Structure 1
């Protein structure tokens, strides 16, 4: 049967291509300096952690070069699942591809054999048009007749950041037929599918843009969506557990209850919206029925409001689902040990902590509504209960100094979260801090900025310093990995201890990234052998992608 809509999830740029691109900017470019902490040199190759695991698996199994032993795309892309579920619930034929490269053969088959009327490209993780352009070109090569639609944060950001004279050229370069401009967009997509299937004009579908004659942006009426999380919840019974795998993501809330000064998400997403407990129970029941071993809640503040979080934990205890769960967590907002006991009893295996700084003056400037002491107490209680934690930090926020960086180093070594990472601050002009630019003598934007106490190059120096001097927590890279690799690896059969050991051994190798000469090569051989020997003792479940060939 012909598809009404095919949804494409994530297009991960190959790391080698990314490294080549940022290398051209020079060794002091922030993008290049950041990439140095996202990979290791292994047997002459520069590999991010997931590719390192894939290489170790290929060597152990004796598989060919096309073997994809590990890829984060095995965790179904939630945006793609969500939109597919929404369309299916309204009676449309819809399917999705979670990740472009490892599922390219399946994508090709769907484009040619199922001949979708519309192919939608999501852009949740894109900060530049490149990945979307590549997908549009590929879709057109395989099926020139399908209507290509691009939606999501990339479109919204381009509209906000691009002047009216330039926008037509930017959209024309991406090459889609239609663009969806809405912070949610699922109902706009439904109306678009309805119009195309019925042969109707798109003029009556809200929140659309397209480029006419390569020069003019045509816009339909703007009607911001405010969809109910209860009515739009994923209907997991519409999917086959064998196709989804053991690690699933869901959300129980939209937007964020806080207003951190470096983040514009609450402004873009609107007021905090919550799913009901009955909807959450229905979703979790279905996910358990599908055989999920690990469930990820992507809510920005899963434990806010706290009474609702308590109810969800009690629900998971009462139902005895048996899966491990993971979430973002505001540990600075939890007092007393009872809440941490409840989390452990309900199956919590790991939490993402957006701590951002180990200095109270910087936290105040960030409007974090938390203190270093409360963070330290929260991490201690998580550690006591065997709940893995990943602490995320920002270097260079206005007010940052050499001393505040040292305070962050001391905090991480003292509190000892399981994993950590620090990144240079990204100056977003839409974030509240931009309104205080004069107060901090703040100039520039993105990764090129300066303020009264630091500049972006100094922030990179701070990242290098924190990476080198933190010894009581394991560095976790971002590139196709991040905290969300933890549930993926646990779902593949790794123990929590094995995940920690992977990070310890990989960091030993990463420390030699810039080293050349006989001593560095000898050290690399020792570190490579340690990783190979370690992986020989890891019992993992087979990859769903198997011998797929990455493009």
Structure 2
């Protein structure tokens, strides 16, 4: 039997137009050439900038590294516990049309819906599969199909099986049944269509994540992702993770350390990126991790909640444990909006975490939303002012999207008068999507030119970071800030004396930091 595993990220680029009409755009240097000649007296191409310090090199070096995709690698580990022949096909190749699977005929197609969040994308994907593999058995798993299993079985006759929840036991058992080696009725977590087209579900079973082996990776990877828990103890209304795995379970600090050491020894890993929505809970495990991780010698990054960072001692312990970066979704600085989200964090706790981490050895990356159902422009003004006046380090601002059909916020659709044309066009009692985009652009503009230490996190993923390894983090952030201003100069200020004056100031500061432009 031959199996095709289809897994990867979804086709979502909510901020895809944010870099239009800037030097960060794909053809920005060419399309804006004449305008920048008027502004600067010469063409400007960011690719021509060089750091001429201790050892000269281009400032913007394309990023060629990659981190394994965690759901894909977890499924690979599960499949490799069987003897089935398989091929992995990255879903990003489907969205882009870049290539086809290599293997020809497949008996089974297994589709991960972990990053499929609405029915139109699922329909597109199933159509693609049916066209190429009309006789294949089709198995779905992952968050979307888990939460929408009955609806999918009713609406898509091509789907033969859906594995709900944990797949570590159910998936190998189903593979063996398809090979004629087991009993379908023994498989937990399974949804199947009965002989009379009824939908039959088997009981749900949860694995012990502490006892079960963690995913293994093939080859060398300096950075690997990590899952330390299933489910979540919180129920934020913009997030469907808790519903996908209602029983919250987590690995012990000792298991985490053992796993990370194996990645170091077997894969050459020197940075672990914990992908859990909140790595810093439960408190007892977090305390134990801060005790044992300093001895491990491995750098790590994680997501946290702001209310965990409540005293300087915690920040000191994070530094000692080699935590290099915390991602914290502040989401809003309006307590009213945070209550609508059921975030269970206050704006004061956000402010406290920001203050404690500011200037520490733990880099802080914050994210904010605009347009959450029920939020008004007056609510968002509190977030706007915080970003413009206070934020330090990298931050992101995202217009709320109503694409994910499984979010708990839909329970409040009537209360908030939610009206959706498509995932990106909506209105509710507080504002509409046009207003939300306008508010976001206002925030980014003011933060770009008024906040000297907050850096928009948007364009950096395409390049090696830090941009200048010879300089410290704060100086690198300053360079990123100056590059953002330079790239947006024409878009924000047009062509004229206002742009020319700002250009001179930007380039004078870049030169003072050892950055020069090569001839264009």
**TM-score exceeds 0.5:** yes
Offset of residue 280 of structure 1: 1.2
For residue 55 of structure 2, what is the aligned residue in structure 1? none
Structure 1 residues 336 and 515: CA distance shift in structure 2, 3 A: closer
1:379 aligns with 2:358: no
1:410 aligns with 2:385: yes
* CA RMSD, 1 decimal: 4.8
Structure 1 residues 116 and 365: CA distance shift in structure 2, 3 A: same
Name the larger-Rg structure.
Answer: 2
For residue 458 of structure 1, what is the aligned residue in structure 2? 435
Post-superposition CA distance 1:71-115 (Å, at most 9, x none): 67x211100111111233456565645564399999744x25xx7
For residue 8 of structure 1, what is the aligned residue in structure 2? 6
For residue 139 of structure 2, what is the aligned residue in structure 1? 149
Comparing 187-196 and 248-257, the one that deviates more: 187-196
Do the aligned partners of 1:205 and 1:220 also contact (CA within 8 Å) in 2?
A: no
Do the aligned partners of 1:185 and 1:225 also contact (CA within 8 Å) in 2?
A: no
Structure 1 residues 391 and 224: CA distance shift in structure 2, 3 A: same
Gaps of 5+ in 2: 29-44, 51-60
Secondary structure of 1:230's counterpart equals coil
Do the aligned partners of 2:333 and 2:347 also contact (CA within 8 Å) in 1?
A: yes
1:79 aligns with 2:71: yes
Secondary structure of 1:101's counterpart equals helix
Do the aligned partners of 2:3 and 2:109 also contact (CA within 8 Å) in 1?
A: yes
Structure 1 residues 498 and 160: CA distance shift in structure 2, 3 A: farther
Do the aligned partners of 1:81 and 1:96 also contact (CA within 8 Å) in 2?
A: no
Structure 1 residues 319 and 463: CA distance shift in structure 2, 3 A: same
Distance 1:391 1:121 in 2: 32
Distance 1:7 1:506 in 2: 40
1:233 aligns with 2:250: no
1:257-336 alignment, distance < 5 Å? 257-289=233-265, 290-321=267-298, 324-336=299-311
Do the aligned partners of 1:252 and 1:297 also contact (CA within 8 Å) in 2?
A: yes
Gaps of 5+ in 1: 19-30, 48-54, 61-67, 539-551
Comparing 280-289 and 117-126, the one that deviates more: 117-126
Distance 1:211 1:221 in 2: 9
1:100-499 alignment, distance < 5 Å? 100-101=92-93, 108-109=101-102, 111-112=103-104, 117-128=107-118, 147-156=137-146, 158-159=148-149, 167-168=154-155, 171=156, 178-198=160-180, 205=187, 207-208=189-190, 219-236=199-216, 239-242=217-220, 245-289=221-265, 290-321=267-298, 324-427=299-402, 431-436=407-412, 440-445=415-420, 447-470=424-447, 471=451, 472-477=453-458, 489=465, 496=473, 498=476
Do the aligned partners of 1:277 and 1:312 also contact (CA within 8 Å) in 2?
A: yes
Offset of residue 339 of structure 1: 0.9
Distance 1:154 1:96 in 2: 20
Distance 1:145 1:503 in 2: 54
Do the aligned partners of 1:421 and 1:477 also contact (CA within 8 Å) in 2?
A: yes
Distance 1:399 1:178 in 2: 40
Comparing 370-379 and 97-106, the one that deviates more: 97-106
Distance 2:344 2:328 in 1: 14
Offset of residue 6 of structure 1: 4.5
Structure 1 residues 97 and 293: CA distance shift in structure 2, 3 A: farther
Distance 1:200 1:97 in 2: 27
For residue 37 of structure 2, what is the aligned residue in structure 1? none
Comparing 444-453 and 377-386, the one that deviates more: 444-453
Offset of residue 401 of structure 1: 3.0
Across the two proteins, how many residue pairs are aligned to each other? 477
TM-score norm. by structure 2 comes to 0.74
Do the aligned partners of 1:262 and 1:431 also contact (CA within 8 Å) in 2?
A: yes
Structure 1 residues 449 and 93: CA distance shift in structure 2, 3 A: same
Do the aligned partners of 1:10 and 1:100 also contact (CA within 8 Å) in 2?
A: yes
Post-superposition CA distance 1:460-489 (Å, at most 9, x none): 2222222222234222239x95xxx89x85
Distance 1:526 1:150 in 2: 56
Distance 1:137 1:431 in 2: 25
Offset of residue 283 of structure 1: 0.8
Do the aligned partners of 2:210 and 2:251 also contact (CA within 8 Å) in 1?
A: yes
Offset of residue 132 of structure 1: 5.8
Offset of residue 241 of structure 1: 2.9
Secondary structure of 2:358's counterpart equals helix
Structure 1 residues 493 and 148: CA distance shift in structure 2, 3 A: farther
Distance 1:143 1:229 in 2: 34
Distance 2:224 2:467 in 1: 10
Distance 1:358 1:350 in 2: 21
Post-superposition CA distance 1:140-182 (Å, at most 9, x none): 78877764433222324554777x8xx43xx35xxx6534241
Secondary structure of 1:281's counterpart equals helix
Secondary structure of 1:365's counterpart equals helix
